[in-house]
Structure 1
């Protein structure tokens, strides 16, 4: 939440396209995790985010130094931002 969540969710309030993308990713995360869980907890979400981040880094992804939330977004950032939205 500290590295991208707060700024990204604030930007989503101003950019409907970003908000829609976050909503789609959040729905996919809920569908993925609810198959095995009765409730999404912060611990489950943190573990999921860690897994997404680790897999992305293994494939060469790096967190950008500066993020332009009004521009097109990559899958990893949007997915991590959706985890932040669910946690909030």
Structure 2
């Protein structure tokens, strides 16, 4: 069997609907690892929400200082740099689907987790997440 059919078959919009760009895939992974649980906790705790807002503002400022757009590519690159730095420092990320932290735990979360939560908040606020 050859792939000749695939070479000439038209690609419908339905066939590509679930395909994520590399940047969207990074943001999706960050949402799975920290964003969903962290943002849920933040929306239930005004103090934590204020902390997440501060981290989101710091991310936005850092991207502006680096003359980067607050878009999927820029946020994904920023998130990857935080993840790489955390790993170099021996810090881990929660695995996707790992048991969520309680709100009080998020208030005491390590800096890299809060910064990634700020990235997730920006991605959500600017409609950059794939549906």
Post-superposition, which runs of at least 4 consecutive aligned residues in structure 1 deviate over 3 A? none
Alpha carbon RMSD of aligned pairs, Å?
1.4
Q: How many residues matched?
A: 87
Under a length normalisation based on structure 2, what TM-score does the superposition of the two structures give? 0.61
Alignment of 1:14 with 2:76, yes or no, is no
Q: TM-score, normalised by structure 1?
A: 0.88
Q: 1:80 aligns with which of 100, 116, 119?
A: 116
Are residues 1:52 and 2:82 paired?
yes
Aligned residues of 1:12 and 1:18 also touching (Cα < 8 A): yes
Match of 1:70 in 2: 104
Return the offset for 1:68: 2.8
CA contact (8 A) 2:41 2:102 kept: no
Deviation at 1:43, TM superposition (A): 1.2
Shift of 1:12: 0.4
1:22 touches 1:78 (CA, 8 Å); kept in 2?
A: yes
Structure 2 unmatched ranges of 5 or more: 1-30, 125-131
Unaligned runs of 5+ in 1: none
Deviations 1:1-29 (A, max 9, x none): 11111111111011112111111111111
Measure, in 1, the Cα distance between the counterparts of 2:91 and 2:34: 15
Query: Which structure is larger by alpha-carbon Rg, 1 or 2?
Result: 2
Please give the secondary structure, in 2, of the residue aligned with 1:61.
coil
